[in-house]
Each structure stands twice: as structure tokens, then as C-alpha cells.
Structure 1
């Protein structure tokens, strides 16, 4: 039996997220004809079912039971609360949660022997898994802007402090990954870093005097786009592309650069159907499925040897050159400091 972990979860999430009862009939790395997946809800669930689950079942005969829920942090919290046996076989999360699972020793190791298509993934991405998962997509933090306010795309993150636009800005809480990467961007712009976040909170305090709102999730930005009261704000390119089609907004990456949000897959160490989970990861990392998923969810693939339409490639991370330029936060540093950053952010936006 694994030792009970006593270290507090980095986000302070309550372990009252009770573990689900396993639905598998067999234990350990056994087979069976099912794989239970815990992931995001809303449009993500719809796209997953159509582009991943259904064709995977058709090809392998393995049924996918999908549970749409909250964030990657909440998915990992369930793993942690159940000491590695939460009743699902594959968790959709980010590289931040993979780092926590590595530290807690609650996620199974994932190797090329189990998942041959890991060989398709660039080393820059694999080194952020600690060997306990796989990166399946690359999102980036972009600058969302109102088309009426900006006939041409803004070129700098500084536009959010411009008196002409600052009353329509949104400041995301670091309780959400979008808020974390936004803070890291502000730190970089002010000459700081993840180990010197003072410049980020100084600029946050300046913006908070005028900002339209302080959302705790990306979905909370949607009403402001529907009303067209927001001028400009950070957003992930996946959702940005969706709302750019249905609202009067578009998105760009400013000249200062940006951070990646690495979508990740983790297998709880006590999963009942590890073998099937590894098969699903391998399927997702195949070049054909990587292309299909990237186009469906409007994100960069974890495989950079693919070809995409020029308009798509201009908006998302699809090439080795783009991947080389984008910044990836050190997950250990983020996890160690996120609670403190949250407290400092709250002070800054009061």
C-alpha cells in the first residue's frame, strides 16, 4: 500500500473531492473493454467524444467512458484524495498536475514501450512530464481584443494599461492557469521572473484600478464578449478561436511573446485499466489524430512534423520554430508558489 501523502495540495483544493468507485472489472494493468477518462466538460467533452472517443472505440473495440467535470487541478485532486485510485484510468490535466503527481508518486510512469508514439513528441515537451504522463496539445496565452476597438491587432501586452482601453480589461485570478501565465508574463515584462514576481503584482495593482472584472475562469469572460464591454484581455488560443467565430473579437500573440499551457494525460497509479489507458494515449499521439484534434479544438499539436493550413498555423503553435520560441513555466516553481501568488494577487486587486 502506498504511503499516505501529508503535503498540502498546491492549490489548497480540498480533499473532500471524494474518489469515485471504480467501474472496471479487472485490476492493475489489466485489459477489459473499457477505459474511464476524467476530463473537462462543455465544448471539450463534445469534441473529445467525436474526435477521440468514437474513432478510438471503432478502431480498438475499447469503450470510452468519459466523465466531464472541472479543471485539471480538480482532476488531480481526485487522484490525490483517493491515494492514486480515483476510479478512472486516464486524467486530462496539464503539466502542472503531472509535476505534482510525480512529487506525490501517484501517477504511473509512461514510456515509449507502453506508448510508442511518444517518439513523435519533441524533447522540449517530454521533459515537462517527469516520465509520468504525456503532452497531447500545446495551447498558448494570446491577447483577445475587440475588433471595433482595434482595426489592426494590438502588438503589445501594454495595450491593457492604455487609458483608452483599460476600463475594458479583464484580470484573471491565478486560481486559474490563465491567471498564472498572465502573471508570469507581467513579471517578465517588468524585468522579473518566476522567482521575482514583484513587477507582476505592481502592474496588476495598476490595472485593477480600472479593470472591468477579475474572472476566476475563462468561461467568465464570455458574457463580456457577448455584451462587447471587454476591450482586451489574455485568453487561451483554443477558446479564443471558438469565440472569434461567434463574437466580435479576435486574438493575437504580442511581440513580447507568451507562455504555453501544456495539455497533459496522466494515468493514476491505481487505475484498473492501465493497459487501455496507454493505448488511448498512444492513439491520441498518432499523427493523424494529432492533426484532427488540433483542428477540432483550435490548439497546437504535441507533434510538430505535421502540416496545417497557413491561416491556422499563423494562430497556433504548429512548427518546431514556434515551439522553440514559446515559454514553458517550470511546474515545480509554480506549484510551490501558487498559493502565495494567489494571496498577493488578491491584495493587488482590492
Structure 2
């Protein structure tokens, strides 16, 4: 996911006595690119208009956001953070996110239970804001027979033209886990994946969706593992890009909202969480990003419903959501191995 800045600066409000009062603002770490644009249009801009609270966004990949929150833990600058599943659990374990109080964010009542992520004591540490899927994206002009399996990425015809996520991207680590399982391996031993990847010649490993999209647009790559949302975006722009769900299943996860532990703007942060999960905002994000709503009661137009990660008639129960507990238990080794593969070392 390409990260670009969205900045809504604070302004001074002059009180009746002539004293300048600083408008309240929230520092938010979130996505950029098309994801950031959607969040700005669907959440941040209308939130500011409704509440008068400014939102200052720092674009960042989820893993980078986590590192930043850990670095500033003693004196946090960030108030609210959007991070992907998997990294969210790491944020919980490192203590950088605070409990979300349903009393201060009553909109949580409308969120499905699966999207209320809880600690062992039952406190909510994150709230889902939309589900996404990762499958096979390909150039439909150059590949006229749609791929049906992850194994198709190893087709000799695509040597040197395969696009894959790096370890920095949130789907990079689970992608390696998927390839390892495909080769008959278990997370305790990644040798099968290493040997299998030695038989592939990737064109590039992308940190951000923008880099992947550019690779498809320029023809550097013709097939790869990428977000369904990005495939639809490129297709809608007129590019010959299509999306296929491999028979082994598309990987699924979600984007999540967190309140940073130690924020000085607890009430305002809860207002933002409450606003983001309202049906109107969830529906807006679904239309803009093709992410499946985690909020109940969202009425989607047929053309939007058809692009949900679970299809027009499905639900979150139909998704193959990554086992983040298992992946995170081996994340360091997975990351190190994937980085070695990507760099050829």
C-alpha cells in the first residue's frame, strides 16, 4: 500500500475574549495512496467537518508504524493508528495500543464480533475497519487462460515477470508461509519454501501497492500475488488487469483501528474510532477500496457487493483469514528468510 501524506492542519479559533484557542487535533498513522485517499474521503474529512477536530496523517506501512509506536512509547506523538492484521497482534503484545472503551465509542455495538479484537482479559485493543483479500493478479492480454493456483506463478513462461510482496508489506510474511505450506513444509522449517523459491525468477518485490501497480503498468511483471482491491483499481482505469482466486484460497486479513497507549487525546481518539465504524463510513470504504465491511447493516449496491472479498452473497465466515498467532510465533525467521530470498543472499 503506497503511503502518501494527507494533511488537515489545525487552525486557531479566537474566543470571545480575543484569546486564540488551538483547535484540537489528532495525529494519525494510516495508509497512503488509494487507501489513504479513501480514508481521507470516507473518514478523515467528514470527521473533521462534523467534529471540528483536525486530523494530521503520517503515511506509513503497518510494520513501520509499529516500529514508530515502539520508539515513541515513553512519550507518544501518535494518537490513533491504522495497522493490518498480524501487525496488530504485535502491537498488542508490545503494549503500544490502549483499550478501546465501548462507552466512548458506542458505534462498536454495530461491529461484528470477529472484528472486535480482544486481549485475554476481554478488553478491545483493535477494531476491524474492512476485510481485504490477496490472490493472483495478472495481465489478461498476455495471459489469456486465467491462473487457477499459486503454483501457476512458477510457470516457466512467467520467469522474470512475477511480482511479489516484500517482507515490509503486510502480506509478505504470510505469503512465504503460504508458499512453504504449498511445498509441503511447516513453519518450523522453511527449507521447502527456500528451495521452491529458488526455482522462480521474480521481477520485483514490492513494499507498497504503488510499486506493484507500476510494475504491472509498465509490463515489468505480468502476474503475481497482489491485493484484489488494486486489481480492480487498475482494471477500472482501463488496464488489462484481472484477478483470480487460487484454488488453495485467497489470503484474507483486515485493516484495523487502534488507539495509542498514552495518547493525551483519549476522548477525541474514541470519537474518531466511533465515526470510522459507522455504516456510512464502512459503506464508503467498501465502495472505494472493495473491502468487506466489519460493520453490520451496510447496504451495498450490487456492483460493490460483487467485489467484496467474500463475493456478493458471502460473509466474513467464508474468508480464509491468516492464522496470525502461528505466523507471529515465527515472524522473525519468516521475515529474515523472505528478505534473503528477495535480495538473493
TM-score, normalised with respect to structure 2: 0.82
Superposition deviation, residue 122 in structure 1: 2.5
Structure 1: runs of 5+ lacking an equivalent: 1-22, 26-31
1:203 aligns with 2:193: no
Which residue of structure 2 aligns with residue 270 of structure 1? 262
Aligned partner of residue 214 in structure 1, secondary structure: strand
Q: How does 1:261-300 map to 2 (within 5 A)?
A: 261-300=253-292
Q: How does 1:1-350 map to 2 (within 5 A)?
A: 33-59=24-50, 61-83=51-73, 85-127=75-117, 131-207=124-200, 210-246=201-237, 247-303=239-295, 305-317=297-309, 321-349=314-342, 350=344
Compared CA separation, residues 265 and 239, structure 1 to 2 (3 A): same
Give, in whole Å, the separation in 1 of the partners of 2:88 and 2:206.
Answer: 25
TM-score, normalised with respect to structure 1: 0.81
Give, in whole Å, the separation in 2 of the partners of 1:120 and 1:317.
Answer: 20
Contact kept? 2:286, 2:304, Cα under 8 Å? no
Give, in whole Å, the separation in 2 of the partners of 1:70 and 1:118.
Answer: 25
RMSD over aligned CA atoms reads 2.7
Contact kept? 1:79, 1:86, Cα under 8 Å? yes
Superposition deviation, residue 127 in structure 1: 4.0
Compared CA separation, residues 132 and 223, structure 1 to 2 (3 A): same
**Which has the higher mean CA deviation after the structures are superposed, 293-302 or 197-206?**
197-206
Aligned partner of residue 103 in structure 1, secondary structure: helix
Give, in whole Å, the separation in 2 of the partners of 1:196 and 1:123.
Answer: 34
Superposition deviation, residue 70 in structure 1: 1.8
Contact kept? 1:85, 1:268, Cα under 8 Å? no
Compared CA separation, residues 104 and 342, structure 1 to 2 (3 A): closer
Give, in whole Å, the separation in 1 of the partners of 2:56 and 2:36.
Answer: 8
Compared CA separation, residues 219 and 37, structure 1 to 2 (3 A): same
The answer to which structure has the higher strand fraction is 2
Structure 2: runs of 5+ lacking an equivalent: 1-9, 13-22
Superposition deviation, residue 160 in structure 1: 0.8
